[in-house]
Amino acid sequence: MATILIVEDEAAIADTLVYALQAEGFGTRWSTLGGEALALLEREGYDLVILDVGLPDISGFEACKRLRRFSEVPVMFLTARNDEIDRVVGLEIGADDYVVKPFSPREVAARVKAILKRVAPREPVTRPSEGPFHLDSERVRIDYHGQPLSLTRLEFQLLQCLLGQPERVFSREQLLDALGVPADAGYERNIDSHIKSLRAKLRQVAPQAEPIQTHRGLGYSLRLE
């Protein structure tokens, strides 16, 4: 059973979420403060966090930023205002989805299910070892020149997708599709930033190699060298 941590200071909203999620068979835990939620997340394993942006102690954005220093648990934001939505959609804070208040609790439960399905381990690719890369999909780990890469979940999925078909040019839309992310304009730009951080991590291992190729106006491919 997946357990969802709900971080929301309004009891009425938290109650409807607890009810809707439990009706779908999820376990729930409710916290009203960002700081308290972070402490819980450091101590206990949760499968997903529903995080209100407007919390009494620290903002949901700040909580997410701190959370990302030690965890890649999926985060869904609850937002109340348009300016908040812009920041969530920018996704620089590493959120997986967001819903705008007022929302339907059943809709939230459906989205939670969709995210958990998306982050579930994928089928292993047919060729686990490709050139300098070695993919271990069960341990969610990719070695590069014999060194384990420390990747975020999205970086791992991106590299796994590119490794699945070396030399193939993937458009940003196709990469988003492989990640199970809806293809909105904001997300497309986000692919570029994930590729950028992925490249930086590869460069730390092999500074001269540039295995991820940019095809201007088309997308990205992986070159095995």
Q: By the criterion CB under 5 A, which residues form the site for Ca ion?
A: 9, 52, 54
- Residue among 17 and 162 whose Cβ is closer to Ca ion: 17
Q: How far apart are CA 32 and CA 34, in angstroms?
A: 7
- Residue among 13 and 202 whose Cβ is closer to Ca ion: 13
Closest distance of CB 89 from Ca ion, Å: 19
- Residue among 85 and 116 whose Cβ is closer to Ca ion: 85
**C-alpha distance across the termini of the chain, in Å:** 43
Q: How far apart are CA 62 and CA 33, in angstroms?
A: 12
122: left (phi over 0), alpha (psi -120 to 50) or beta: beta
Query: Do 197 and 189 form a contact (C-beta atoms < 8 A)?
Result: no
Closest distance of CB 134 from Ca ion, Å: 45
3-state DSSP call for residue 30? strand
Amino acid at position 34, single letter: G
Tokens of 182: 């809806």
Q: How far apart are CA 147 and CA 37, in angstroms?
A: 34
Closest distance of CB 85 from Ca ion, Å: 15
- Residue among 54 and 94 whose Cβ is closer to Ca ion: 54
Residue showing the smallest CB distance to Ca ion in the complex: 54
Closest distance of CB 17 from Ca ion, Å: 13
Closest distance of CB 54 from Ca ion, Å: 4
- Residue among 100 and 209 whose Cβ is closer to Ca ion: 100
